[in-house]
Amino acid sequence: MSQSDETWNPAALFGRLGHTFADVRLLAEALTHRSFVNEHPDRSAHNERLEFLGDAVLDLIVAEALMERCPGASEGELTRRRAALVNEAGLADMARRVNLGAALRLGKGEEKTSGRDRSSILSDAVEAVLGAVYLDAGYEAARRVALAWLGPALDPVVEGDLPGDAKTSLQEVLQAGAGRGPMYRVVSEEGPDHDKVFEVEIVAGGEVLARGRGRSKKEAEKDAAARALAARSVTATSGGRAPG
């Protein structure tokens, strides 16, 4: 059933969302889909502007969290980890964990086509709500809410290998071109045992494709793979260095 002003109860949402809004109109706007406004011409505010803001706020929050928790990661690695968190499927899962779909104000058409559980609508709503929190109480409040919502998704992204990470992408490119994957070998280790820095090089077809550094062998390997891809030194057709 479509929600109306009479049945929509923002106070009941505060606990689930992890924020008590001083300006409840911001929350109402964040939860209002364009389809609802289309059917209620007297309502001019839907959530797309807040979604735009929340997208930028969430990117900053996640980037900051990854910088803190992955001190040895390269720029490319941080970018991939952020993408693993901030995507439609991941944001929709966040929305489902706090049952955000039940609070959305949708038009009748979206109601009939299961809009409350559609990933695109849910992910947009997450960003819109974070944008609303930011306007209502500032960056720290938005950060607190976002990190609480990310919850179980953050640790695996920080600690584990990602589908489609640099090493996986490099493996796929080399195997497609030459039928063999890269070899990783440690070039040097610097520093005391508790604070080592490893340097690793990637070898394929008898050539060194790139070198990378990190505070573990795994991080150094990922950094080297990211550098090989970023420098466009590997092509799917050659399986080695692109002609200069």
pLDDT tens for 135-175 read: 999 999 999 999 999 887 888 788 765 655 677 778 877 87
Looking at the annotation, which residues are catalytic?
Answer: 55, 127
Q: How far is residue 102 from each of residues 3, 116, 117, 121, 127, measured CA to CA in Å?
A: 9, 7, 9, 12, 16
Please report which residue ranges of 70-161 form alpha helices under DSSP H. Answer: 75-85, 88-97, 108-112, 119-137, 139-150, 154-159
List the CATH code of the domain at 166-230: 3.30.160.20
How far apart CA 156 and CA 172 sit, in angstroms, is: 23
The single-letter code of the amino acid at 15 is: G
Q: Which range has the worst mean pLDDT, 4-8, 31-35, 188-192, 229-233?
A: 4-8
206: left (phi over 0), alpha (psi -120 to 50) or beta: left
pTM of the model: 0.65
Q: What's the whole-number mean pLDDT along residues 118-141?
A: 95
Domain ranges of the chain: 10-159, 166-230
Q: What is the CATH code of the structural domain delimited by 10-159?
A: 1.10.1520.10
Give yes or no for a contact between 133 and 14, defined as CB atoms under 8 angstroms apart: no
Let me know: does 159 contact 50? Beta carbons within 8 Å: no
